[in-house]
Chain A
Amino acid sequence: DGGITQSPKYLFRKEGQNVTLSCEQNLNHDAMYWYRQDPGQGLRLIYYSQIVNDFQKGDIAEGYSVSREKKESFPLTVTSAQKNPTAFYLCASSMGSSEAYGYTFGSGTRLTVV
């Protein structure tokens, strides 16, 4: 079955460490997105990519980095510069223009700083 796979489901990070969250899709979607979800704040866009080897900052990109070397993969690195990284991270993809198709979401990664 086609879908989006995020791993790991739970991730713990020590202060000052970088961590990378994986997102893989087999839907042949061109566009991929990373969102951060905090209680009571809805979803906020971190980065998005509409084509391989190209990506743009979203609303809260500071302290994060991404790459898009393959169409299927869009990993997110949470760097030590991100001061409050504890959150639920959701990856999504869309076939093209989101107006027409909406998004398909992964099941999320919960990151906790210890």
Chain B
Amino acid sequence: AQSVTQLDSHVSVSEGTPVLLRCNYSSSYSPSLFWYVQHPNKGLQLLLKYTSAATLVKGINGFEAEFKKSETSFHLTKPSAHMSDAAEYFCVVSSYSTLTFGKGTMLLVSP
């Protein structure tokens, strides 16, 4: 069995400040991990993925995430938030060809 916990349902930041979206996972198998972003009434767009290569993964739009096996975490970060980053973000764990989604973190960016 596998599960994903996104530790914050909402995160608020000011434009230009760092972003941290937290994700913990559990899996009985070596998982792959993903972060997706969803803008209102849109589909999900892949930001980045970890598939057992480098533990620090760089994605699109300046986002990156670090896989920490000892902490079972895969937190998403960005050094400087932009207004266009405001959206909902989903952490996803995959093993045995099954994806399990976290419940999402809404990122709010204020001017």
Q: Name the residue on A nearest B47 (C-beta).
A: A102
Q: Output the residue of B42, B51, B99, B101 with the most chain A CB within 10 A.
A: B99
Asked whether any CB of chain B lies closer than 8 Å to the CB of A106, the reply is yes
Q: Smallest CB–CB gap between B69 and chain A, Å?
A: 16
A-side interface mostly: strand
- Segment of B14-22, B60-68, B78-86, B89-97 engaged in the interface with chain A: B89-97
Q: Name the residue on A nearest B32 (C-beta).
A: A99
Q: Smallest CB–CB gap between B48 and chain A, Å?
A: 9
| A residues 52-106 in Cβ contact with B at 8 Å | 88, 90, 92, 97-100, 102-106
Asked whether any CB of chain A lies closer than 8 Å to the CB of B9, the reply is yes
Known: A99-B95, A100-B32. A110 touches B41 (CB 8 A): yes
Residues on B with beta carbons closer than 8 Å to the beta carbon of A45: 98-99
A110 to B31, CA, bound (A): 31
The answer on a CB contact under 8 Å between A41 and B46 is: no
Counted as pairs of residues, one from A and one from B, with CB atoms less than 8 Å apart, the total is 60
Asked whether any CB of chain A lies closer than 8 Å to the CB of B25, the reply is no
Interface size class of A (residues with CB under 8 A): 20 to 34
Given A97-B97, A103-B99, A105-B45, 13 more A-B residue pairs with CB atoms under 8 Å apart are: A6-B43, A40-B103, A43-B90, A45-B99, A98-B97, A98-B98, A98-B99, A99-B95, A99-B97, A102-B46, A102-B94, A105-B36, A107-B41
A/B interface sample: 21 pairs, CB < 8 A: A4-B43, A33-B99, A41-B103, A42-B102, A43-B101, A44-B101, A45-B99, A88-B41, A97-B97, A98-B94, A98-B99, A99-B94, A102-B34, A102-B46, A102-B94, A103-B44, A103-B99, A105-B43, A105-B45, A107-B41, A110-B41
Residues of A within 8 A of B (CB): 4, 6, 31, 33, 35, 40-45, 50, 88, 90, 92, 97-100, 102-108, 110
